[in-house]
Amino acid sequence: MLHKCYLPSVTATFIILLTLMVSMPVVSNEPEALKYSISNALTLPLANVSIVNGQVKIKENEGLLVKLGQEIAKELDLPLTIIPVGRKYVVSNLLNGKSDILCYLIPEWVASAASSFNWSDTFMSAKDILISSKSDLHLSTFEDLRGLNIGLIKHYSYPILQDMIDRKEIFPIYASTEINAFMQLFRNPDVDAIVFKDLNFDWLYSAHGGALTSHNVVKHSLVIEYIEPRCAVSRNRALDMKKINNAIARFKKKRHTNSL
């Protein structure tokens, strides 16, 4: 006895193929974005950090670190994702791969973890200085700081000042961000002076010089620390350090010619 063989209809075959296509994973040719982290404690001219609906945001296309990240991503031929990160989590995020790279860091600030990262060339020079709004202060030596309340950023590293803090020669008053530390000059009369980046002060003075002068805000000659910041690069991802340094060289050239 012959058995009939039933072939699926064209419509049924199409539905089966369509079902298989939908269930197959989508393979993207887009490379994984560069996870470029910026500390959310920073302020301009390094980065424009704000809080929108309770979320920390870093404004695109504004700030030196954003532009440096764009140069690095361009050189690596990768899409760029900028990730705000709290200073407390800088090291852990680089170690666990949540961040691929974070710039404005030096090995001394991360102690024993420094050997776990690849380090770029330096990309700028900076200084930590002291600013105050008290006209009777003249701070030119570390001896002048004895007995003062000094505004600092929580989770930042201050190797020289830490010794003075431990010996109770100075008394720290901590803020969560650089801009909050700056505002302590006006909101907290107990703060005698704050540690601030020279380039941040220069930027503020260029934008709001009249207001700073009217509030007697001045920067002092004492330099707390000379800084040659670098980029710390996670070893969880194979990133070409030569290309990163090429991008840094291009960034420095553009900054020197004011073309950023």
pLDDT in tens, 26-53: 555 789 999 999 999 999 999 999 988 8
pLDDT in tens, 181-230: 999 999 999 999 999 999 999 999 999 989 899 889 999 999 999 999 99
- Render 1-36 in DSSP notation, one character per residue: -PPP-PPPPHHHHHHHHHHHHHHSPPPP-SPPPEEE
pLDDT in tens, 131-183: 999 989 999 999 999 999 999 999 999 989 999 999 999 999 999 999 999 99
CA nearest 193: which of 163, 233, 221, 157? 221
Fold classification of 34-124+228-256 is: D-Maltodextrin-Binding Protein; domain 2 (3.40.190)
> Is 127-226 the same fold as 34-124+228-256?
yes
Q: What is the pTM of this model?
A: 0.85
Q: How far apart are CA 171 and CA 174, in angstroms?
A: 10
Q: How far apart are CA 234 and CA 224, in angstroms?
A: 29
Sign of CA dihedral 60, 66, 71, 72: negative
Amino acid at position 141, single letter: T
pLDDT at 10 over 60: no
Domain boundaries, the chain: 34-124+228-256, 127-226
Fold classification of 127-226 is: D-Maltodextrin-Binding Protein; domain 2 (3.40.190)
